Structure 1
């Protein structure tokens, strides 16, 4: 089938959908306003770069988008992100048309003003079918626009790539707490840093020998990088904290395999699905997550990980201490987590689910 995506090329989520459909033998086209990031798009996919940048481009590019779609003549149009590319998708007037919601587009954007809410509702209404990565985000979407035409398709992972490998660390005695996230306020990296420092301090005061083994690993780049490095210095943990910066997605399994505990304590509901969490679980790591958005949805509490209250530094520190002190618990949660991901979030199954939605919507519009 001929699939045309309207989405940001800079996002690994876009890259993975484009590559997956290309690898399945579909003819794939990507229309985008964003430059490709460090991740590679399948050479069989055709990319069209729009000249007018976001955010005005979400409106003013619609004439060229219509022209491109007329040239491509796709079987289906699939826009990702309801507030931006969803506007372009609506203005294109093309059908069959699927719109995937991502998070802040249905959580944060509608709250900015009545006008913003109206834009989102119009964009949702224009689609023939809606897709969400989590049940909690599906409910949020339905609160804006009730419709039976919506599917939950997780953004799963390839468990062949995300797997536990033998420990390659020079110092196998270290206990590494880590995360792989964008360094922005939404993702609560500051909460992790404070909790790690508090956990270490508590363990030192309690004369726990493992306190000296603790290390913190932060993988990712973003606007808060300098601020977070300064925070680590203020809390006297800079010498045991490593900031790796942004890495290509293909390298993420290597970094996850250098960790013992994974922490994702985001602070906003728009954290709609925990891709990074299931990547960590697939690598055999116990996880600690906050109770926001779709994060608890991908964790089996006390079996694959621990769930803490949002913005709860002391609670997160207690969870870190619990896992640091109990190696057997860490290993059992890691084993449980990988099985949970294999059963529920295998990427090949998710791609097949999306193909089924495509076929259904194409049949509907004939």
Structure 2
């Protein structure tokens, strides 16, 4: 198949959406599908090469979003020219942005099925627009965003989202098109318990990996760690990632726990498995995880997880089996669960082993197989509708 992918966020940016797109396109190309990716240009983007069968086209950007490393591509007629030459069998849009609307236009022009993936809980990101915060974070703004979201995804032939929890939200918010809950998938050849090495450092570490932004609620993690540290002072907290809240959180950490918290900054995804192997517990207080790919990667490496009771996390982390689920924004409860794991190596190992087994069903290979089936089904349905339309026209004539 010839597959056209539309996404504003892409390499060299590092985030869960980028990881999901890179993994899926490489997996599809390995099965001899031809991929063309339309995305926004950025520093270093011209050096990106994903290998045979994958072509990347970059377009000029605009700064409507005040988020580091995230640009919105400006619509371009060149995309239509490229699509005319490529002759796609299916179009896959990963964002309802300007590029996303180009995907809709191309779908109509070339009579090609459109798949739309909903990766990100968009109402929670209005704070990153250039609107004043009192406007961007209001209930009215959220209703407008959901209205926009409905308008976009109801134009798709098939909608994909990474978890059942997010599927339920989309159904509730009025998405009428077929919705498939499908994991973004984990590369279990790279992320595996065999990479764990508890003797590599004498210092025990709790790790947080992900975008450093206010909606991830990393301050709750820091406060929970501060409480736990009073009873287990030999443990350290490592925070991996970059983002707009990094400077503020460093100040918070500096006031609370000087030299006990390490901010590693953004790290290449290829190095993450080693990072997990040097940690003992994974923690997140994020309330906006539509799947939580970093959680799955940590579990695949044998780490127990402490998370919160929002969106997809309780679907992944089984309370008291593969980790613990605390109430959102509750640093005291989170600290109590961290302490249970900090005090018991046996418990960490038991939960880590169970977690690694649980993640086996989230294999990237299974995701690629499911994606192929979705594409083929969308093509069949599109052809059937086209034939039905022809028959109806003949009857009417």
- 1:128 offset after TM fit, Å? 0.7
Are 2:150 and 2:173, in contact at CA under 8 Å, matched by a contact in 1?
Answer: yes
Measured in 1, the distance between the counterparts of 2:335 and 2:90 equals 48
Measured in 2, the distance between the counterparts of 1:199 and 1:40 equals 44
Deviations 1:221-260 (A, max 9, x none): 111222112111111x231221111011110010001110
Mapping 1:54-93, distance limit 5 Å: 55=64, 61=75, 63-83=77-97, 85-92=99-106, 93=108
Q: In structure 1, which of residues 15, 20, 31 is the aligned counterpart of residue 38 of structure 2?
A: 31
* Pair 1:248 & 2:268 matched: yes
Measured in 1, the distance between the counterparts of 2:97 and 2:58 equals 19
Q: In structure 1, which of residues 171, 183, 190 is the aligned counterpart of residue 219 of structure 2?
A: 190
Are 2:159 and 2:177, in contact at CA under 8 Å, matched by a contact in 1?
Answer: no
CA 1:272–1:19 in 2, change beyond 3 Å: closer, same or farther?
A: same
Measured in 1, the distance between the counterparts of 2:264 and 2:341 equals 23
- 1:114 offset after TM fit, Å? 5.3
Are 1:154 and 1:350, in contact at CA under 8 Å, matched by a contact in 2?
Answer: yes
* Pair 1:327 & 2:328 matched: no
Measured in 1, the distance between the counterparts of 2:73 and 2:336 equals 48
Measured in 2, the distance between the counterparts of 1:44 and 1:302 equals 44
Equivalenced residues, count: 353
Measured in 1, the distance between the counterparts of 2:125 and 2:212 equals 19
CA 1:83–1:145 in 2, change beyond 3 Å: closer, same or farther?
A: farther
Measured in 2, the distance between the counterparts of 1:71 and 1:279 equals 38
* Pair 1:318 & 2:336 matched: yes
Task: Tell me whether 81-90 or 2-11 shows the greater mean CA deviation.
Answer: 81-90
Corresponding position of 2:394 = none
* Pair 1:336 & 2:337 matched: no
* Pair 1:171 & 2:178 matched: no
Q: Structure 1 length normalisation: TM-score?
A: 0.89
Mapping 1:78-227, distance limit 5 Å: 78-83=92-97, 85-92=99-106, 93=108, 94=110, 95-105=112-122, 112=141, 115-147=144-176, 149-164=178-193, 165-167=195-197, 170-172=200-202, 174-201=203-230, 203=231, 211-227=232-248
- 1:85 offset after TM fit, Å? 3.9
Q: Which runs of 5+ in 1 are unaligned?
A: 204-210
Corresponding position of 1:6 = 6
Measured in 2, the distance between the counterparts of 1:144 and 1:83 equals 19
Measured in 2, the distance between the counterparts of 1:40 and 1:168 equals 35
CA 1:238–1:132 in 2, change beyond 3 Å: closer, same or farther?
A: same
Task: Tell me whether 270-279 or 113-122 shows the greater mean CA deviation.
Answer: 113-122
Are 1:219 and 1:245, in contact at CA under 8 Å, matched by a contact in 2?
Answer: yes
Corresponding position of 1:17 = 24
Are 1:229 and 1:238, in contact at CA under 8 Å, matched by a contact in 2?
Answer: no
CA 1:54–1:354 in 2, change beyond 3 Å: closer, same or farther?
A: farther
Corresponding position of 2:282 = 262
Q: Which runs of 5+ in 2 are unaligned?
A: 12-17, 66-70, 127-138, 384-397
- 1:133 offset after TM fit, Å? 0.5
CA RMSD of aligned residues (A): 2.4
